[in-house]
Amino acid sequence: MHLDLTDKIALVTGGSRGIGRECVLRLSRSGARVIINYNKSREKAEELLAKIAHHGSEGDLFQADISQPDAVEMLFSFVRERFENLDILVNNAGIIKDNLLLSMKLSDWDRVHDVSLRGAFLCTKSAAEMMMLNHRGKIINIASVAALRCGTGQANYASAKGGLVSFTRACAVELSGKGIQVNAVLPGFILTDMSRRVRKRGGELILKQIPAGRFGMPIDVANIVAFLASDQSDYISGQAISVDGGLSIS
């Protein structure tokens, strides 16, 4: 599907690696100017910026730990000063800190929620403020199949992602009438750094549970993100769309 995002300004949180990186490439290929947020992977973010420049697109880098209000404030000050508006926000940054419930440290519970949920709240609030001025915007939250069906040791992650799906719906209720669509994408097992350890431990078993018979690629997620970022999805809001090869219904 040809998606035209020419002249759109997009921000992808956690854009330095994995799914976020692929979203940056996909949005930029469709014409968007993408601000790549990263936290620790500066080199990877710089390589990505060079790659999109090589393909003739412009982009920007901004380091921020999106779980921190001051850092998010600085990120959005940059966006406001540089572009005045924002068309697309992809709340992609996320981490895992798996452990059995009885062994789970409070700090690991908090950190997973802080990045996935608090970070999405902080960024969405700032983005919505800008988008409301133009009566237009797209917010896409990268949740997870874990919101619907999760493995052992994921109480923190599953609840954060389930919360993100509910947050998506709550925001859609408030923002749809203001021209802003908010949707969630729920990836299954995607080939990135994040899923490597789990795949190594139980890859064969997991594959048997995926009706499509394969793990997902970052581009499988980025394609639906690009669609949700485009005008072609203007009547879709508050939805949670699984990209999991059928895992959630198996």
User: Which positions touch ligand NAP (CB under 6 A)?
Assistant: 13-14, 16-20, 37-41, 65-67, 92-95, 115-116, 142, 144-145, 187, 189-190, 192-195
Q: Nearest 5 degrees, angle CA 120-CA 121-CA 123? A: 65
Spatial separation of the C-alpha atoms in residues 51 and 97, rounded to whole Å: 31
Shortest distance in whole angstroms from residue 39 CB to ligand NAP: 3
Kindly tell me which of 132 and 207 has the beta carbon lying closer to ligand NAP. 207
Which of these is catalytic: 38, 157, 167, 227?
157
| Residue closest to 171 by CA, chosen among 227, 131, 229 | 131
Residue indicated by tokens 């902080």: 122
Q: What are residue 41's phi and psi, to 5 degrees?
A: -90, 70
Q: Which of 153, 161, 157, 151 is nearest to 103 (CA)?
A: 153
Nearer to ligand NAP, 112 or 179 (CB): 112
Cα separation, 105 vs 186, in Å, equals 26
Q: Nearest distance from residue 118's CB to ligand NAP, in Å? A: 10
Written as six digits, the tokens of 159 are: 């609840």
Among residues 87 and 114, whose Cβ is nearest to ligand NAP?
Answer: 114
Which is nearer to ligand NAP, 14 or 162 (by Cβ)?
Answer: 14
Q: How far apart are CA 201 and CA 206, in angstroms?
A: 10
In whole angstroms, the minimum distance from the beta carbon of 16 to ligand NAP comes to 4
157 carries an active-site annotation: yes
**Nearest distance from residue 127's CB to ligand NAP, in Å?**
15
For 186-200, give one letter per residue: b (16+ CB within 10 A) or e.
bbbbbbbebbeebbe
Q: What whole-number distance in Å separates Cα of residue 143 and Cα of residue 241?
A: 9
CA angle at 227 for the pair 7 and 246, rounded to the nearest 5°: 155
Shortest Cβ 196–ligand NAP spacing (Å)? 9
Q: Which is nearer to ligand NAP, 9 or 95 (CB)?
A: 95
Active site residues: 157
